Structures are given as C-alpha cells and as structure tokens.
Chain A
C-alpha cells in the first residue's frame, strides 16, 4: 500500500509545484522549542580605545568640560585657579595609565651629539640641518615616551558607545 502511495506522491511532486511546496513544509517534525534562555545581560560591545581614554580624562580631570568652555572672556586669574584642579586630575590619570618619561635622557639646553644611524622618530632635527651625521646641537625638548599603555576595559552596550560622560540628574 505504502509503495503505491510513495510512487504516486513521487510523480505528483515532480509535476505539481504547489504540492511539492506543501510537502516540504510538512516534512520534518517540529523541532522542540529551544529552551528559553534566561534573560541575558546584553553582550558587551566594542568601542574605540580613544573614547575610553577621553572618558578617563573627563571623569578624573574634567578635560572635555575645560576644552569645550570658551575662555576668551575670563581673566588669567580665573582660568589659573580652575586649571590647577584640571591639571591635578588629568596628570594623575596620565601617570597611572601611561607613566610618561623623556624619550631622550638629556637635560634641556645641554649640548647633544647626534650619531649616525639615529632614529628620526626619536630625534627631530631643526635649524641648520646639512651634511651627514655626527652633528653637535642643543636639546630643545627631550621628548616623551611612555612605559605602558593600560587603558580601562569598557564593557558597555552599543547604545552608549559614543557617550564619554553621562549626564547628571540630581534627585531631591
């Protein structure tokens, strides 16, 4: 019995497109519904580390507030006393995250001998640059290098990726 049924269905599928479609849908038994996942915490998004760094300077030193404020109308004294606070907070963060130190171990103003094969990324030459090294010059700026680059890890959601400082609403 099933054999003749099988043949009749076989030929019908070949000839009748709509029937074939219905068979396809009918075919497999329903998969058991996937067990409902417990309401998961939204997975962390990624964001550019520069935004995390900016958030650190705003949180600890209010750097963005400072840079965004138009300072033309203020006196030096007003700016000066506020800047001390910004300097204190930003400096602490800078030292903790990067620990900067001079790229060249030399005293500013001292004379310095640039050897052949020097690294242009480490020593920038200005003034009468002619001929080939070695050259004698004076150190105008010893440069900066960092000992580490350890930014905090950001684990927020995509919706707040671009927010570097949340708004503050005080409740009474």
Chain B
C-alpha cells in the first residue's frame, strides 16, 4: 500500500515528539501528534511531547497494573510521570539514554542503565531504552491513525548532527527493533530545524535569505547543545542549501542554567540558616526555573520570590522563601553561559586527573557562546550572516538576544537583521521539520545537500622492528572524506593491507569534524581536538581453503547508502571476495 503520511520522529535527549504531514495534499502543514502517556500512576493524558525518560517499576507496581496504557500494560512507564520520578526515585529511572548512545567507552548494548543503580534493579541498555521510547511513540501513532500502519508510511527519524557512524548505527538498530519500516531515513536535527522554518515560510523563504548567506543553527535544549553551519548558494537559477560543518555534541543546556540559579538560591537559604534536604533541593530547582522565566520576561519584575513549599500537609507553614533579583540572575546567567567574549575564545579544558569516574562526559565549560565562537573559528574563511535558533532555551527573548549580540559583535553585524524568524514552537520544530523533509523527499521540494558530516580514519599499525615497551605507532588512513554524498561508493586508493584469514581483524576507528582529507591520505600530524576515537571495526575472514592461515591483500571500500548508512568493506585485491567491517561496540578496554 502506498504511504499516506510522512511521519517525523524527534527522539530527543529530554523530550521526544511525533509529527506528521499528509501526502498528496497541497498546502498541508506538518502537525504534532499528541502522545498518550502516564502523568501519574493509573492516569493517562495525551501531551504534545513525550519526555524521553523511563521509570522501571517494582514487581508490585507492575502487578497492580498501574502502567496501563490504552494499548497495553508494559512493565515500565515512559513520559511525563517517568520524568518526575527521575527526581524522586533516581535509582529506578533511565534518563538521557540518547547521550549514552554517543559514548563509546561503554558497551551500549549491555544493560547498564540506570547508571549506578543498585544490583536488584533490572537494568536495560541504552539501545533498549531508546527502543522503548520509540515503541511508545509508534503505539501512539497506531492509536491515532489505525488506517495508516507505520510500516507503510514514509518515516524520518532525527539524530544530532554530531552523532558519528557508530551512534547512528545503534540508533538505527533501536529503531528497527521498535518497529520502524526498513526504509526509514535518518535526518540531522539542525537540518530538521531549517526544514521546519521552510515549512512555515512556505514559498516566501527565498525572499528571506540571499545567495551567500551562511546560517548558523544554534540548538540548545534541556541538556544538550548542537551547532551547525548551512550555506545558501545559487545553482541552475535556484537557491540551494548546503550543510557546511557540524560541531561536537556538547552536554550543556537549560537544565544547567536552572541548577546554577538553584545554587545561588541555596546559598541564600544557607545565609538564613535554612538547610534544604534532597526533596526540597529538587523543588528549589523547579522554582528557580519559574523565577528565571518571570525575571527574564520582557517586562519582568525587578525581583521575584523563590519559594520551596512545605513537604507534608503544612504547605504554607513549612514553606521557606528567598528573593532573587533580576540583576543577579542576569549576571549569573550571562557570565556563566553567554559571556560575549571574543571570536578567539575557547572553552576551558577539563582538568585531566589520574583517576576518572566512568560516566557521561559532562562539559567542563558551560559557556555556550565560547563553544559557539570556537566552532565558528574552526571554519576558516566562513562568515555567518544569519542565526536560526532551536530548542527550549531560546523560547526566551533574553537568551536569543545574548547570542545575537555576541555573534554581531564578533563579525560586526547588525543584530536586528541577524535572526531567521521562527514563529512556531521551538520545542516541536525538529519533529515537524522531519515530517516536512520526508514529504519533500517523496514529492519533490527543497532539500539540503549534506553528505557525511565527518571524515573517518582507520588506524593501521606501522610496520617496523618491535621495540619492547614501545607501542607501535598508528598510521591514520582516511577512508571516508567529509561531505561524501549519500548514494555513493568509493574505493580507498593506496597500498593494500594484509589481513590474516581465519582470525578476526580489528582496526581502531577515528573520526574528525574539522579535517578535510581525501581518501587514501595518511595523516601524520593532528591535534588532540581534531581526531576522536570511536568503536573499533572488526572483520573476520573465513579460514583459507587449504587450511593454515594466509595473508590476503585487501583495500578498503566505502559505501554511503541513500538512507545515510555508512558501510565499510575489505575487498580482496586478488579475488572477488569482500568482507564487511562491523562496529565492535563492546567496552573500549576489552
């Protein structure tokens, strides 16, 4: 059956969103599909956003059926209630599974979440956590559109632009397990934000940008920041968009800002001699978020009380309160997160200690403008001319102006004309844009040219005499050039490499967001920032026909499919054999 909808799914770190646009209908706009979810035990409400949190129930809770949904009773809760449980029952709640998918130092298919939970909690893997959230979204779709089964629709799932090939592969795996059709497409989130903007401007967009414009997309959500550059050029009489560069996945977001204010308020309480317990600290965090929104509103008051209510029935009697002034909130947030700085400013490095606790690499420097200036500085010869905002943080005029002033100051631009106006909800743009892109792919329409956002390198041990105690140096061979177009194949030129038959061959695998080498280049000089190691590649050659082991000379062969899936092969130089290299997602230390 032909598809009747294009469905966009934003699998976010904090919130997921489901949107759709009917196919074959002129003038239709992408709209959000509300997702029924548990907002309390045994209470189901449909909300536009599905928080990407999972609460793993105790056996008693599962037995009582408190997780009942319109479509069944799973043994866990996904959504709003699970998010609130994250603060009150942290040992049984899984959050931020998406950020774990990008973290190569753990086995992402192993049951490790909730991280640091006690032994008796039945854990799940980051891949399974993502799968569960997607399953919930798909069940909501099936309920809203029983006449349009998801396996027959055009489906687009978004990932951060900074996700490398391994993280994308794992996302794909979780998606297929959840029940997405085989033909679903992965789209980068900042591109989805631009598509949402295009959807809302419809035919007028060509009047709002010019040839030569370079748009920097600044996406700051609850816990993550993603930066992308897109250029507007002229081709065959038409304006086209091309993705130029992508920044790292930075673990700083709106939650950090609320926590910073909570710290400030907590010190005020301490001055009054009031010590807050753990529950009150969480309530304080939420009260600070509300105070931030009140104080930073355009005509906001000069000061605002921050109150933590009494926990039991003595709501008023047990409440404690401090005042925060607008001036100190503005100072704390501007200095900490949006210092204007210079274009040359770089984020502070994390102090490397001998011992490191294993866990998500939370960012040492929360100054978003410093990350932005570092990213822009790395793109030599490119001057941004417009800014597109995305993510919950930029719902506030105050933060948008801080960034516009910073960028305007670095490049000598007027802040008034800098922003690409966004007249719809910042939280819902990625899903809506993904649905719009799916339709553009099928029915024709403006497309952003992209290709691989990273170049990839295989580490090969250099030959030479073995010296005891000295590790053989690695040669980094470029196998995938940055901006490799989707739907292309190439053979990596250069010398052949010998692989032993009958034994697994493992290659260390690296990627770079900044280097632009051509395939076959061997990199000898690089800075620490430039190359990032990810999961190794493994291929196992079957034993040679006559028994015994044999060296087979191979070259690397690369394919980037239309769906954006990266495939690497070892192709024999003397026969027609080829062997696929798989990502080995086990522990990095193994």
Contact = CB atoms under 8 A, between A and B. Distances in A.
B42 A74 contact: no
A152 B65 CA distance: 17
Interface string B9-38: 000000000000000000000000000100
Interface stretch (B128-136, B310-318, B356-364, B418-426): B310-318
B73 interface: yes
Interface magnitude class on chain B: 20 to 34
A151 B96 CA distance: 29
A21 B471 CA distance: 95
Nearest to B306: A81
B315 A88 contact: no
A55 B43 contact: yes
A156 B64 CA distance: 8
B68 A44 contact: yes
Contacts of B319: 78, 81-82, 85
Interface residues of A, number: 33
Most buried by B among A153, A160, A166: A153
B328 interface: no
Interface string A142-161: 00000000111111110010
Contact of B65 (A52, A55, A84, A157): A157
A52 B64 CA distance: 19
B39 interface: yes
B276 to A, nearest CB: 15
A156 B42 contact: yes
B314 A69 contact: yes
B372 to A, nearest CB: 32
Contacts of B279: 170
Most buried by B among A66, A71, A78, A81: A81
B261 to A, nearest CB: 16
Nearest to A71: B316
Most buried by B among A41, A55, A88, A157: A41
B45 interface: yes
Contacts of B307: 81-82, 84-85
A86 B184 CA distance: 45
B66 A156 contact: yes
B309 interface: yes
B39 A62 contact: no
A154 B64 contact: no
B300 interface: no
B122 interface: no
Interface string B249-266: 000000000000000000
B41 interface: yes
Contacts of B315: 62, 65-66, 69, 82, 86
Interface in A89-113: none
A83 B315 CA distance: 9
B287 A52 contact: no
Interface string B61-83: 00111101010010000000000
Nearest to A83: B316
B321 interface: yes
B44 interface: yes
Contacts of A85: 287, 307, 309, 319
Most buried by B among A74, A79, A85: A85
A62 B314 CA distance: 11
B316 A74 contact: yes
Contacts of B64: 41-42, 157
29 contacts: A42-B64, A42-B65, A44-B42, A55-B43, A59-B39, A59-B40, A65-B315, A66-B316, A69-B313, A69-B315, A78-B316, A78-B317, A78-B319, A81-B305, A81-B321, A82-B309, A82-B315, A84-B305, A84-B307, A85-B307, A86-B315, A150-B46, A152-B44, A153-B43, A153-B45, A154-B42, A154-B44, A156-B43, A157-B42
Given A41-B68, A44-B68, 9 more contacts: A55-B43, A62-B315, A69-B316, A74-B317, A85-B287, A150-B45, A150-B46, A151-B45, A153-B70
Interface of B: 36, 39-46, 63-66, 68, 70, 73, 279, 287, 290, 305, 307, 309-310, 313-317, 319, 321
Interface of A: 41-42, 44, 52, 55, 59, 62, 65-66, 68-69, 71, 74, 78-79, 81-86, 88, 150-157, 160, 166, 170
